[in-house]
Structure 1
Amino acid sequence: MVPLGSLHGACCSLLISLLLVCLLPPGKGQEFLLRVEPQDPVVPARGSLLVNCSTDCPHPELITLETSLLKETVSNGVGWVAFQLSNVTSDSKVLCSSFCNGFQMTGSSDITVYRFPEHVELAPLSPWQPVGKNLTLRCWVAGGAPRTHLSVLLLRGEEELSRQQAVREPAEVTTTVLAGRDDHGANFSCRSELDLRSQGLGLFQNSSAPRQLQTFVLPVTFPHLTVPRFLEVGTSGPLVCTLDKLFPASEAQVQLALGNQMLNTSVSSQGDMLTATATATASAEQEGTREIVCNVTLGGESRETRKNLTIYSFREPTMNLSESTVPEGTTVNVTCAAGARVQLTLDGVPAVAPGQLAQLQINATERDDRRSFFCSATLEVDGLILRRNRSVQLRVLYGPKIDPTKCPQHLTWKDGTTHILQCQARGNPDPQIQCLQESSGFQPPVGIPFRVSLNYSGTYCCRAANSQGTHTLTVVMNVQNRNPLVVTIVMAVLVILGLVTVTAASLYIFGVQKRNDIYHVNQGSTWLPLTSKQPNEVLREEPS
């Protein structure tokens, strides 16, 4: 920096010299010029400059340089003096003066100082910019000279959006652009340009750090949420949330919640369509009406849809028999139970009130064996009627009984034929049946084919038995011989038919011979002579 005292003295000397120039009368010395080189130079801030004052005057006197800058005489000669200026910090004017033939000569040069901007910054962009809305870009440039050669550019990538001259300190430059989908992910920046090419130097650029823009489209419509209307405790159901015309769909945030419980959500996108899926699992603590919430967030804005889900508990009714297997005549209690608010009906008889036990009492008989008792449970959930059914079977133990319709009491069979002794009995447990011949104790198989013989004839005692008792039935079996009289009659008929056939054949042969006039010659009297007869004599003879 220049000391204030030196600066003040230099300024006073410059003003006195200018005053002398103005007061001195023109004379012959003004025919010569005093040159200042270089003319109107441009130097970097805090730089140095060699200034030469020269004249064609043959005998110049007192060549000096008047300036507010620090100076030092570095060389001189006939008609010229060179001065070194240092620490040039601001634009200034230098003045060379000299005397020629008693008259003063002057020359001047303007020094322009250039400096690069110290700071170039693009104002932060909004985290998300709606598509179709105006975006204002603002750039600050601190420092930089000369301002007449300093421009500020606002860029999208390398595309120039605006170019303005820097004014004021710091310079503030703004421009407005319409945000579009193509701007999503684009880099915006600010650049200063100090153009000193006209001064023989160059174009000096300084750019700010780029800032990336994110644009988005969030439709005014709400997400479409698909949820089950009802969900039973312990079961799960799918949840699907979709939203169309969303950009960029892949960067949207989606939350699906069941009441206050955030669900594990899977999100996918295709084009401008976003789909989020999750699975809701109902628990007993959530029983009742709960809200399913789908929230889609993009660009700091949200769209939300809510739907109700009714969670209910409806377990199958529980049926109990006082005893599942009982002897005949035992009293059996049948009960059916379910949860609260459930209406029960046991074998067509409803319980007193919802949530109450349904019960039935019977005296077990043979007809109740394998009887099924049905319990129907009904629950109303938000206008929907739900039903669950349960059944249980009773086994009744009772003694055997042989059914006469399934065990014929009189059987007539032929000797040597094959038959099955069909004899069935009912009972629980299933009874075993045996048939014994009363006279011999012979036991034919029951229900299995066997060959009948004459010794099977007789009276049988068929006995059915199980753990509950026995039951008997008498069966008479009559086995007949194969009938010989019929055989004899058949043989006699065959013999008679044979005789008749032979006789008929003989008569037939005799009749045929008679019709053919066949006679036999008696050869007993061979000596008699043969005589001829007339035809009329032959016709009168009788047939022998």
Structure 2
Amino acid sequence: MGIYWVLLAVFHMNIFINKGNCCIVNIKSNKDFVIFGQTVLLECTSNCMDVVWETRLTKLSTKKEDYSSSVEVLVQDWEDSPIKCVADSNNEKVTKAETRVIPYALPSKMTIDLKEELEEDKEHEVTCSAYGVAPVKYVILSVTRGGVVFLNKTYEGDTRREPHNLTETFKFMARRSDNMRDFACQVTLNLTRVTNATVDSPSVIIKTYALPENPRIRVEEWMEKGTQTYISCEVLHSFPTENITTKLSVDGFPNFSATGNTFVSIPLDTSNLTEGQYKVICVSEVYNFSKQSDQTIVIYESPNMTLMASRKVINLGYPVQIDCNLFQGNAQYFGLSLRVDGVEKKRVQFPDLVEKINATRRKPDISVTCELFIQENGKVLFTAEEALTVHYPPEFNDVSCPNSLIWVDGQERMFGCSSDGNPTPEEQCSFNNLFLQSTSYFTAERNMSGVYMCRASNSVGTVTKSVEVTVQYPPGTPTVNISKSSIGAKVSVNLSCYSDALPHPVYNWTIPPNAQVEFSQDNRSITIKKASWCHNGNYTCYATNKHGQSLAHWDLKSDIDNTMLIAIVCVCIGVFLAVILGLTTYIIHQKKKRGKYCFIKKKEDGIPMQNIKHENQNDGNLLQDKSTD
């Protein structure tokens, strides 16, 4: 109200200042939007004396004062109704101002359509309805979650002015965090200078749940009658667990049932059930939603079968008939499989299996297996096995009986040639009336080298093979020979070495330190080109192979005169001593010359004689010390 009087005073002052000028008209309203059927107060100010109101709305009251006029109008028309304030200026010119007041209506009713139980991570719909709201262009229709808007719809381009019923359906993804939260629909009219323009529907508190998987039944599908076991059912990743109800039962047997939350287990004694098929049912429920799993189980009579072979012993390449028969149990449930050495040969879904097999491998026995299996899942319930013996003739191969053998003299060993056969063959190898059993030990000798004829025999056949045997031995004591018995100065001499060994030995020598010799290519011999006293000494020959080593010595003595050598050595020693004596004499002479020079020099400088004598004495002593050193 205070603002009103201030504006009025400013207006009157403006009239006073502009008196005599053109007429000015202003309209002021306390509201821009008015609830339909309510009134609004308008005020018009002017510097002209006569002001009148023009409108098709009903005027309830009018009040005039100097330079102003107010009117109260009833807003009950949805059409556009302008309100004009008209002033007459000296009956000459009409001045007017115009305004509009927009009627609105809040919804008479708000509703929300939303299920109270929502499955998590699924898309759901919520429908909001607003009744009798206007104008539509200002409406914001929203969905709130926990009082916070998270979905909305606006109608800015809608020109409808009268009240209308608005309905919108929104889609959203339910989350676990939505559990036990309130959802509501809301209408807000976006009006200026209007408060409390929001209407909410009644709220709905929702409950979320999760049953993402069907219940998991754990049970043996095929059970022999008389088996005692457990049946269980588990519901994984469900929510809320306290609201989950799970029921486990066996169809047709109401006594076999149990109820729990997310896990249920019941004992099952198949002795109480007749043979046949049964359905295990597990139903999990939360609120009005449920999921179900079924699994069929079969109770069967314990089966049995026989396995027979026409012969237990067969020769290589000959056939044998195998019979496998089911003689107890329901034949429609089971099948038979025949395996030979682990490899399946035949598979039938009948109670009888007959098959002929051949022994094609050099192998002393064949494993024949008959398996009884469940046709539906292939599970093996029963196995019978029979071992057949296979006979085949002996056979030599290069691994167990090489074409050539190497023995070592003096070693204990077996022959080293064996054959493969069943029954186990008898083996013997012979050479020059020497007969050796392949499985007996003997000591190898050098005279056993040669080509042996090996023979292997059993009840199925006989086979022979030639084997070359080489007996090796270490080197014997070497024989050293010298080319000359008497060795003079500058005479050529040859020493040779030989040792009997197999394989042939490698030769090596040790000779005197200063001896100059030449070795042959195979190292068996050495040659002294010009014999001298330096070649005197011990010569040793070494013969080596992979089985051992042997050696022999030869002491070489030459007939060379050593007188001249001794004389040369003596002359060399004398010359060496003379050089040492000469150097010593020269050093002493040089020291004496230095002392005499010092004496003369000091006398010229006026040094007292006693000092010179003393220094000479010192020099003499020094010279003596040097000589001593």
The answer to whether the superposition gives a TM-score over 0.5 is no
**TM-score when normalising by structure 2:** 0.37
- Between 1 and 2, higher relative CO (CA 8 Å, sep ≥ 6) is seen in 1
Larger radius of gyration: 1
**TM-score when normalising by structure 1:** 0.42
